[in-house]
Every structure is written in structure tokens, then in C-alpha cells.
Structure 1
Amino acid sequence: MRLKKRILLLIGLVSLILLLTGCSEIKQPITPESKGLWNEYIVYPLSWLITEVAHLLGGLYGLSIIVVTILIRLVILPLMIKQTRNSKAMQSLQPEMAKLKEKYSSKDQKTQQKLQQETMALFQKHGVNPLAGCFPLVIQMPILIGFYHAISRTRAISEQNFLWFDLGSPDPYYILPLIAGATTFIQQKMMMAGTENQNPQMAMMLWMMPIMIIIFAVKFPAALSLYWVVGNLFMIVQTYFIKGPDLKKIPAAGKAGGAKK
């Protein structure tokens, strides 16, 4: 129950951030003179960086967004590696967690409180943080919203096109939203490999996040979908190199389990 409350709290926090940053200044152009912490430290630096990289690339703003996305991913790479390792540690603890659930199978309140205490003690013993997977989301949300503002409030970006779409308008063929949703699913599937069947909440998020990404990407500027797609591809490659051996073991383990049955 506590984990559910924390997930709801996180969703509420993200929604509040979206409300506070998305409704106030979205129609005002971003310039060096724009005031406020949000404009000075998030939106304008992103706008400036995209614009400067585009100038280096011959005015190709779509290519600039790809390069800037990769740069941002490289900056937060240590945090993402920590998240991936935490996910692996959580997976290795699943047998012990299953034993605890079997030991405290009674549904009365005292037994469930004891189960939560024992579970948290297990996490602390092995240095695992069950909410570590939420931290990258909290950090990426300001960047994501900042990208949306930088694209919408910088005329040079919003008026450019790239491949088949305009950066400042939704993808007319819905190709990018579908790719963004598919890559989100693949990336999360790799991160949760071996644990989603044992944790219904994680299995629910595995489907919820891609659907939410597609819904948002259909309405948001295509440049934001491009950011999602590039970021997801980066994460897929990163996860493969970190969890590659474990990803190969999971299907083999499943076949072995079926053979024993």
C-alpha cells in the first residue's frame, strides 16, 4: 500500500509541475531577458544550446535536437546506470521477497506491517532502494517540460522542419508518436526483465507509460517526440550493455522452468 501511495504521490507531483510550468508562459517568447528561475536556468539554456548546436550543423534544428538529447543523456548517464544496477539488485532479491510474502501470508494489518518492515530491512541490508526507478523520472521531467517550452517559445526552432515533420507541430502521420511509444515499451521491458511477473505494479507501468507517451506525443510538437525517441534508443543501448548477460539468461531460465514442469 505504501508503494502505491508513493506512486500516486509521484504522479501528483509530476502533474503539479506540468500545471505550474505549462500554463503560465507558454505563449511568451524565450529570450536572454526572460525572468524567473524556470526561464533562466531551464528553458533559455535549452533554447540557446539547441540553437547554437544547430548553427554548428548548418541550421539543421532536427539534427541539433538529436545531438542535444544525446548530450543530456550522457550527463545523466551515471544516474541511469545506478537505476539499472538497482533494478538488477531488486531482481536478485525476488526469491527472498517471495519467501517473506509466504511467511507473512496473513492479510491482517499487523502481519502486513511486519511484512513491510522485513521487506524494508531486506532492502537496507542489500543497499537497494525500491524507489530508485522514480528518481530519473523526477529529474527528467523538468528537462522534458523545458524542451517543450524551448521548442514552442523559440521561433527559430518551432518554424523549422526535419525529415517529414515540422518541429513545432505534431507529426501529421503519427509515426513519431508510435515509435516513441514502442521504444518506451522496449526500454521498460528490458529494465523490468524478470521482475514484471512478480510485481503487478511494475507490469501495469510497463503498459501505462507507452500509452501515455503516445497520447501526449500525438498532441505535442514533433520535436518533443523526436527527443523521446532518441532518448529511448539511447536507453535501450545503455540497458543492453549493462544488463545484456542477464537479458540472455531470462529466456533460458523460462525454458528450463517449463522443462522441469
Structure 2
Amino acid sequence: MKQLKRYATVLVVLFDIYLFTGGYGTHGRIYKLVAKPIANLLLDLSNAIGGVNAIGWAIIILTVIFRLILLPIMVNQSKNTTISQLKMQKLRPEFEKVQAATKSAKTQQEQQAASMASMALYRENNVSLTGGVSWFTMALQMPIFSGLYLAIMHANGLKTATFFGFELSSPQILFSIIVLIIYVGQAYLSQLHVPETQKKQMGMLMWMMPIMIAGFTFVSSGALGLYFMVGGIFVLIQSLINHLYYDKLKAQVDKDFVIKKTADDLLKQTMPTAGPAQTAQNTNRVRPEDLRPRDVTEESNESTGRNAGKQHRSND
């Protein structure tokens, strides 16, 4: 199953590369192969609904359909990310030991050994290096969201379309404010279970994202503002589900996750030991007792004794 998922991920990633390297405008591959069919669907929906608010409702319905299809995948990815983060919290003391070994390393060989121990700590304890993020899920989402975005941006009749009096061809401040509120709520839920040590590192980025998204909708069309509003609601739902399941996932990790190999075990395996060359060097090393001044009288007596012995054996 894992092998099949790897092949599927490679194929989807290659398809994404093919799409995005063919240009991003109305003449690009992604517009022709993905956005244009979505745009035609958007037009059919608006014609079926009819009325002055048709395009607005078509944007909402289409966004909801795509988000509902992807919601189980997104929730599962959030679950895997949370499990990976909980495992990392348990492994933090072990990583601190490896970091201490890296700092205290005196040679390049010792530094490389400490780095190997750090990588092995992930591998031996079955913790994802990517933090639980699924490349397949990300690769699958990108063309869908990009195609929907382009379809809404270049939708037919958008220049004259309105949604309950709001012109969809020009920026709408109210839409931007709603988008900001939704994504601030999502950022708040995401930070509830982040350790205090990581909040300082991630905090600024987490709060900057809602401002950036709201700022983008403020300078773009109301149609895209409507798209980000609906999409933001689903992102908020996803974060809420993850928040409600957090305690259950934590209990699961506490019960099932066991550190198979500690930092001490891995450092013993990877740290360089004394080889033959080093042993020979230690053998030829000058000892402290060799540096003491010798007793010349003692040496002279020993030499005389040896010479006397030789003379005695000659006489015999």
C-alpha cells in the first residue's frame, strides 16, 4: 500500500510540474486543462440558477463542492500532523541531547556523527521528517485550488456581476474584514495546543497569514474575496475538528508511542571510536614520567654493573 501511494505521489507531482511549467495565464496549461472546465461548470451553474446573484451563488456552490470533497483528506492530514507534533514533543529531550553533542563536537567527524544521530532519531522512532504533511495531499490540492482560482478570476460576465449589491469585479472591504475574522479564528484554534517554546517561533507567522490573506482580498476582486470567505469557513471547520480530537490523539500517542532508541544509544553508535592509527598515536605519545630529570649517578651505576657483568663473563 505504501509503495502504491509513493507511485501515485510521484505521478501527481510530475503532473503538477507539467501543469505549472506551462504558464499561469489564460494561455497556460493549467488554465486549459483545469481552469477552463471549471469555468464552464461555473457558467452552467450560474445559467441554471439565474438572476443577478447567479455568479456569486455559483462561486459559493462550486467552492463548497470542492471543499467538501477535499475535507476528509485535509482533516486526515491535520490529524497526521498533530500526531507527528505530539511525538516530537516526547522526543524533544532526546533532540536536546543531540544538539548538545553537536555543539560540543571538536572535529568535523564528530559533528557529522551527531547529525547522523539526529536523523536516526527520526527514523528509528518512526517520526516523520516532514511533520506528518502528505506530499500526495498537497500535490492533489494545488491544481484544483489553482484551477478554481483562475476560473473565478476569468469568469465570463464577472465585470457586470453583483452579489446582493456588491460588485464582484472590484474589491469589497466587507469581504476582506470577514476573511480576516475567519482566518484569525483559525489561527487562534491552531495555536491552542502549540507548546510555549514553539509559540514564540510560530506565533508571528500564524498571525501574519490572516493579515496577508485579507490584504490580498482587499486589492483583488470581490469574486475572489467570496471564494476566500467560503474556503476560510472550511479551513476553520478543519481546525475546529482537529481541536476537538486533540485530547484523544494525545492519549493515543501517550499510550502507543515508545522511544525505541534514545539519543545516548544512537550517539554511542555514530560517534567515532579510537582506530588503529589513533591507538598507535596514543602508544607513541610522550608520557609525563618521561619528562622527569633522570638520576645520572643511577644510570652510571647501572652502566658500570652491566659492563662488569660482561667482563666477568669474558674472564670465564
Structure 1-normalised TM-score? 0.69
Q: Deviations over 1:63-119 (max 9, x none)?
A: 111111110011212320221111220232143232123322325344355334413
Give the corresponding residue for 2:3.
Answer: none
CA drift of 1:51 comes to 1.6
Aligned pair partner of 2:96 in 102, 120, 125: 102
Give the corresponding residue for 2:31.
Answer: 39
Q: Secondary structure at the match of 2:38?
A: helix
CA drift of 1:131 comes to 5.6
CA drift of 1:183 comes to 1.6
Indicate conservation of the 8 Å contact 2:217/2:224, yes or no: yes
Distance 1:142 1:185, change over 3 A: farther
Q: Distance in 2 between matches of 1:208 and 1:50?
A: 32
For residues 223-242 of structure 1, the aligned pairs below 5 Å read: 223-242=223-242
Give the corresponding residue for 2:86.
Answer: 92
Q: Deviations over 1:183-211 (max 9, x none)?
A: 22322432453126343554343123212
Q: Deviations over 1:125-165 (max 9, x none)?
A: 25684161777565544444433432332332342111342
Distance 1:245 1:39, change over 3 A: closer
For residues 144-223 of structure 1, the aligned pairs below 5 Å read: 144-171=145-172, 174-195=173-194, 197-199=196-198, 201-223=201-223
> In the comparison of the two structures, how many residue pairs are matched?
222
CA drift of 1:49 comes to 1.8
Q: Distance in 1 between matches of 2:216 and 2:230?
A: 16
Q: Secondary structure at the match of 2:196?
A: coil
Q: Secondary structure at the match of 2:99?
A: coil
Using the aligned pairs only, state the percent identity: 25
Q: Distance in 2 between matches of 1:74 and 1:87?
A: 20
Indicate conservation of the 8 Å contact 2:122/2:128, yes or no: no
Distance 1:134 1:53, change over 3 A: same
Indicate conservation of the 8 Å contact 2:152/2:223, yes or no: yes
Indicate conservation of the 8 Å contact 1:100/1:119, yes or no: no
Give the corresponding residue for 2:117.
Answer: 114
Structure 2-normalised TM-score? 0.59
Aligned pair partner of 1:51 in 43, 47, 52: 43
Distance 1:49 1:223, change over 3 A: same
Give the corresponding residue for 1:61.
Answer: 55
Give the corresponding residue for 1:246.
Answer: 246
Distance 1:135 1:206, change over 3 A: farther
Aligned pair partner of 1:73 in 54, 67, 71: 67
Q: Which has the larger radius of gyration?
A: 2
Deviates more, 1:187-196 or 1:50-59: 187-196
Q: Distance in 1 between matches of 2:124 and 2:30?
A: 39
Distance 1:181 1:142, change over 3 A: farther
Indicate conservation of the 8 Å contact 1:18/1:145, yes or no: no
Distance 1:102 1:140, change over 3 A: same
Deviates more, 1:70-79 or 1:156-165: 156-165
